[in-house]
Chain A
Amino acid sequence: MADAICLIIRKAPYGKIHAAEAVRHVNGAMASGLETRVILMGDGVYLARGNQETAKAGWTSLSGTLSQVPEAKGGENARFYVHQESLADRGLDPHGLMEAFQVIPDQDMARLVAGCKKVLLF
């Protein structure tokens, strides 16, 4: 865990490029052999919702891309988390999220971030 890198995603997908860039960098971190921890918080939690259908809008579906991440190179070294309080603030049902995501409360998130050697914010 000492060499883990944490990517914190705070923006909702599609309105800004941050979430798409974050997903691209998640793949890059995994391919680089890093222990990768992805945390969604704030509006970033919307990224964890499954079945995002974007083809008609011309965007790549980030849920589609993310759902393939665990099977990608280095995927066994990646873990995915959603901030519980951010979900609750937005009235989102934790049961409607993609399978790879684990819902964690404030204190667990703090421990997770503190345990990572590097943190990238998106």
Chain B
Amino acid sequence: MQMLSDYQAATQAMATAGVLVDSGPLQPPTAATTIRVRDGEPLLTDGPFAELKEQIGGYYVLDCADLDGALRWAATIPAARFGCIEIRPLMMPPDQG
């Protein structure tokens, strides 16, 4: 349960610093269902949308000034030590960019 407490500590630090907007772990890809709507017909598939080596295990939404800030916080997420963290800015609606 070391991992869980590591996550709690990292998430708590983000909250304390006021950058944490939202976060959450995801159930494993075996729990995934994929839906496509084609010609108005929903098509369901059992499984994730792509068979990748890496699977998304969770997400964080952080409010940072720039990439360096985001990188600093991302490096504190425990999964960064054995997996990897992809960082992408949210696309802002035109009147907020």
A binds B: no
B interface residue numbers (CB < 8 A to A): none
A interface residue numbers (CB < 8 A to B): none
